[in-house]
Amino acid sequence: MSEYIELFLVFARIGAFTFGGGYAMLPMLQKEVVEKKKWATDEEILDYYAVGQCTPGVIFVNTATFIGYSRKGILGGIIATLGVVFPSIVIISLIATLISNFSEIEMVQHALHGIRLAVCVLIFNATFKLFKTGVKDLFGILLFIFSLLATYLSLLPTIVIVVVSAALGIAFQLYNTRKEV
């Protein structure tokens, strides 16, 4: 039972102390799940995140569900999901009751702009760490550039980019395996 409580509390803490959505939660996810708890490796987090982005729903909720499921099965997935959404539900409920009173205050608007900038830095740092872990050769760099441009220019839907990247990765691996044999 204590592992389920720990799963809930870890994801509730991540959900409560990050601002800016799924990508902004990535640095804290890496620190808590990979470094502190050792529930997953950097590569597994990349995989969970990729699948979380491809499946319907909120990226981080999906990722929390996958991590919880990998730790403790179906109940673990449910508890991790509840943990990550619980703080948001509480915070949004409180903000909804107060927003009309504070939304026009200039200091509040400036604070939110500052928070957005800080979130951008956190996302960049997490992306850079994942880049160092995920990109290991020239093929990885080319695939990264393809994915980055296709995403940035909105050339393809995200799911198509992920599927094409996966297919190219498999083809590249098969080609290298046959070349070595």
What is the residue extent of each domain of the chain?
2-134, 135-181
In this prediction the pTM is: 0.59
Give Cβ neighbours of residue 152 (< 8 Å, ≥ 6 apart).
none
Give kind and range of the element (H or E) at residue 6. Answer: helix 2-16
Per residue in 162-171, pLDDT (tens digit) is 899 999 999 9
pLDDT (0 to 100) of residue 49: 81
Number of residues in the chain: 181
Lowest average pLDDT, out of 96-100, 115-119, 128-132, 141-145, goes to 96-100
Mean pLDDT over the full length of the chain: 86
| Rounded average pLDDT over 92-110 | 79
